[in-house]
Structure 1
């Protein structure tokens, strides 16, 4: 089922829920159509989500928000788990849709290339070649969002039917990290899997594209952002550090800046500025985004 979150005269955002058998692997679909006549910049924070965005019109310039480098331009793009935030900018004209996958779902759909996506942006065609380009064309020619989402259901159901599974020990370790919001000690994962630390890291990189410690940092950051977003009283830095498993406020601030490129308070302010459009998080239940002033450096 799809629902429009904005009137038709405004930029259009439509959310789609995947068919029930797919929800273990697909977190959701998001269709969008914008014709703003002015640039739009968004800050996309690290999440435990693999995103495949299929463009019908327009392109995006992507830059690392923490260690700026020359921007990379994409029409369609696949983004694996990244431990640093991304600044995404477009001209204001953008039409397409995005699929949000769990890391396990990305591996089942794409196989070993999913691990190569860790920390990277890539053309989706590099994963599935002409098949994905043909799918994008078919989706663009389909007249309604519900029909597009149904087409995606069929496409991913076929991929998942024969795709590879995670190794059981990787799945167990990932569940421990998620359950603890990234706070379970890595040595406990080593002991639980019976692997060496080196083998655990190698298997994580093959399956998720990141080492266990990096994946844990993303989960802890997401927990921190969730606490910030849910608490109307906005806990102090010291209280937030205690709630989210940091040594102290200084540790929290260093870790947050090292992953997002700003302080927690600055991030909250960027989400709540009255002069800018309200942010739309890309995935239900996760804090993913803030809309930035297009004139900001």
Structure 2
């Protein structure tokens, strides 16, 4: 079902809700077509979401925001959980769609490959196989976004019907991390699963691609970002740091910069400068995901 379409000069977006049985694993579908006269750079912060972006036209250049490198240029992208932010740059025409999956959904759809994607971006067809390439072609040929989202519903329904499930202990541990916004002590997870700390870390890496401590850091960061971007005010300084699991404001600032590549103040300034852009800042409902770095 298409929930919304936002046309603007050089930009169109369609947001699709997956079929009800899929919503445990699939957060949303987003179709987009952008025509830009100069490069756009977006800062994509760490989230608890696995992203699959299928390109019909155009490419993106991806690089790490914290430890800049030459980066990679990709068309269709599979992006696992990352503990550091990504800078995504594109220009000209960018036409395609993205699927936002929970970590459980990515594992059920793609098996152990989902864990191998942790911390990485990859060309989607290379890691997820020829069936995905076939799907991308069918999506490009579909007459409209409604038809494309229906094709995605069928694709993921088939994958989830026979795909592997998370181990119960991983499901429990992940629930504890999410429920506590990343504040539950790792020793509690060790005791609750009955595993050693080493086995817990290995099983997390197999299922999510990150260690429990890294996953907890992402959840703490997301809570911090939600509070910072709340329009009706939020705790500040030491109160915000304590609420989100940091020792003090200095600890929060260091952790934020170490994951996002800038200070909280700089991140918020980038979001404010992008307020007049036609496209929404965040790409997943309920998560703070992005800031535009050259919105002016």
TM range (shorter): over 0.9
Shift in Å, 1:96: 0.2
Partner of 1:143: 143
Kept in 2, the 8 Å contact 1:279–1:291? The answer is: no
- 1:58-207 aligned within 5 A: 58-207=58-207
SS in structure 2 opposite 1:36?
strand
The 3-state SS of whatever aligns with 1:154 is helix
- Once the 2 structures are TM-superposed, how far is the Cα of residue 275 of structure 1 from its aligned partner? 7.9
1:151-199 alpha-carbon deviations (Å, 9 max, x no partner): 0000000000000000000000000000000000000000000000000
Structure 2 partner of 1:282: 283
Aligned-partner SS, 1:96: strand
Instruction: Report runs of 4+ in structure 1 exceeding 6 Å deviation.
Output: none
C-alpha displacement of 1:7: 2.2
State the distance in 2 between where 1:191 and 1:275 align.
Answer: 46
Provide the aligned length of Structure 1 versus Structure 2. Answer: 295
Question: Is 2:293 the counterpart of 1:292?
Answer: yes
Any conservation in 1 of the 2:274–2:281 contact (CA below 8 Å)? no
Structure 1 residue 10 displacement after superposition: 4.0
User: 2:266 maps to which residue?
Assistant: 266
- The answer as to whether partners of 1:80 and 1:117 remain within 8 angstroms in 2 is yes
| Inter-partner Cα distance in structure 2 for 1:3 and 1:231 | 24
Please report how far the alpha carbon of residue 2 of structure 1 lies from its aligned counterpart in structure 2 after TM superposition.
1.1
* Alpha-carbon contact 1:276-1:293 (below 8 Å) kept: no
Summarize the alignment of residues 4-23 of structure 1 with structure 2, pairs less than 5 Å apart.
4-7=4-7, 9-23=9-23
> Cα distance 1:274–1:258, how it changes in 2: closer, same or farther (>3 A)?
closer
Range with greater deviation from structure 2 (173-182 or 7-16):
7-16
> Match for residue 47 of structure 1?
47
Q: How much does 1:123 deviate? A: 1.3
1:36 aligns with 2:36: yes
Deviation at 1:262, TM superposition (A): 0.7
Instruction: Tell me: CA distance 1:264–1:286, structure 2 relative to 1, closer, same or farther (3 Å).
Output: same
In the TM superposition, what is the alpha-carbon distance from 1:230 to its structure 2 partner? 1.4
Verify: 1:254 aligned to 2:254, yes or no: yes
Shift of the 245–130 alpha-carbon distance from structure 1 to 2, 3 Å rule, reads same
| Higher deviation after alignment, 35-44 or 234-243 | 234-243
Q: TM-score, normalised by structure 1?
A: 0.96
Unaligned runs of at least 5 residues, structure 1 = none
Quickly say closer, same or farther: Cα 1:294–1:61, change in 2 above 3 A: farther
Q: Is the 8 A contact 1:58 1:95 kept in 2?
A: yes
Contact 2:274 2:291 in 1 (8 A): no
Displacement after TM superposition at 1:207 (Å) = 0.2
How far 1:34 moved relative to its partner? 0.5
In the alignment, structure 2 segments of 5+ residues that lack a partner are none
With over 3 angstroms needed to count, the CA separation of the structure-2 counterparts of 1:202 and 1:21, relative to structure 1, is same
Q: Is the 8 A contact 1:40 1:92 kept in 2?
A: no
For 1:264 and 1:234, how far apart are their aligned partners in 2?
A: 13
Distance 1:140 1:22, change over 3 A: same
